């Protein structure tokens, strides 16, 4: 599936790239995209992470109107404000743990995804990834441009928004932080 998804990106529109290939599992398709988007946000954030410090980004946010708090149910049982770089670091570790858990992301052929995969697991991961995209656009877009990754960010984000809206994996409320970017890139 990953090869199919990658092959469609250069040859067809992103609108076509999000369509589930005939005969494929929607859970598998969503999982494939979660991994791809994870790799994108990880690479994009790491490329400007030296600009995202406790001093420059003392809170995880997207502009003044959207503040994001970390909660993992284990170490952080309550929503906790923190610098953006710490939030993203915890997010990366949390997603890694999800991806490495074969009961959440099965690796064996025929192994089933959890019942709540598309209703809860994938949406929670994708919602948190959206927050990284939003933070990058609001607070680090000039640095993204300086390192030559604006096209990568814009393409990845457009693919992301088309995918999560097509399969209703992220709410419109969550997308509000980047609604203007979505309009510009549409």
DSSP states of 47-65: HHGGG--TTT-SS-EETTT
Residue 92 has pLDDT above 90, yes or no: yes
Closest CA to 33 of 135, 123, 131: 123
Tell me if residue 115 falls in helix, strand or coil.
coil
What pLDDT does residue 186 have? Answer: 76
The confidence score (pLDDT) of residue 15 equals: 83
In angstroms, rounded to a whole number, what is the distance separating the alpha carbons of residues 88 and 96? 12
Question: From CA 103, how far away is CA 153, in angstroms rounded?
Answer: 31
pLDDT tens string 147-176: 999 999 999 999 999 999 999 999 999 999
pLDDT in tens, 107-133: 888 889 999 999 999 999 999 999 999
The pLDDT, as a whole number, for residue 185 is 84
Least-confidence region, from 1-5, 105-109, 181-185: 1-5
Residue 8 has pLDDT above 60, yes or no: no
Total-model pTM: 0.91
More confident site: 111 or 135: 135
Alpha helix stretches (DSSP H) within the chain: 2-11, 14-17, 26-48, 84-100, 122-146, 150-166, 172-175, 179-185
């Amino acid at each position: 599936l990953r090869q199919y998804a990658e092959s469609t990106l250069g040859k067809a529109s992103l609108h076509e790239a999000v369509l589930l290939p005939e005969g494929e599992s929607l859970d598998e398709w969503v999982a494939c995209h979660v991994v791809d988007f994870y790799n994108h946000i990880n690479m994009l954030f790491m490329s400007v992470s030296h600009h995202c410090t406790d001093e420059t980004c003392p809170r995880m946010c997207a502009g003044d109107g959207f503040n994001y708090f970390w909660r993992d149910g284990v170490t952080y049982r309550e929503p906790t404000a923190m610098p953006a770089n710490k939030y993203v670091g915890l997010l990366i570790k949390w997603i890694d743990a999800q991806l490495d858990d074969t009961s959440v992301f099965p690796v064996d052929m025929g192994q089933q995804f959890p019942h709540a995969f598309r209703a809860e697991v994938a949406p929670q991961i994708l919602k948190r990834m959206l927050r990284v995209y939003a933070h990058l656009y609001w607070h680090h877009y000039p640095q993204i441009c300086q390192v030559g990754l604006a096209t990568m960010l814009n393409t990845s984000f457009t693919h992301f928004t088309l995918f999560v809206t097509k399969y209703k994996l992220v709410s419109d409320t969550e997308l509000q932080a980047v609604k203007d970017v979505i309009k510009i890139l549409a």
